[in-house]
Amino acid sequence: MYMQLSTGAVQALKSLDRIPDSGSEMPRSMADELLTRGLAYESRTGGVINMTAAGRQWLSWRAA
């Protein structure tokens, strides 16, 4: 099943792939979009956003 993401959320997901442990800043609305779809998760300490395996799979599927 294909999930449609906003352009900003796609860019945010790609940045999580390039910068481990979300060293990049992203708008909260984009983070929320990824979090609610299960493509990212937020750490309990510090509010760091990381990509889930589903997020990595979504990027791989989109690139194919």
Report pLDDT for 19. Answer: 65
pLDDT in tens, 11-42: 888 888 776 555 567 888 998 999 999 999 98
Distance, C-alpha 13 to centroid of its chain: 3
What is the rounded distance in angstroms from the CA atom of residue 8 to the CA atom of residue 50? 16
Asked if the structure places residue 1 within a domain, the reply is no
Give the domain range for residue 19.
Answer: 7-63
Q: How many domains does the chain have?
A: 1
Closest CA to 31 of 45, 15, 12, 54: 12
Asked if the structure places residue 2 within a domain, the reply is no
Tokens linked to 20: 């481990």
pLDDT over threshold 90, residue 48: no
Contact, 30 vs 12, CB < 8 A? yes
Report pLDDT for 20. Answer: 58
Q: Higher model confidence: residue 3 or residue 57?
A: 57
Asked if the structure places residue 25 within a domain, the reply is yes
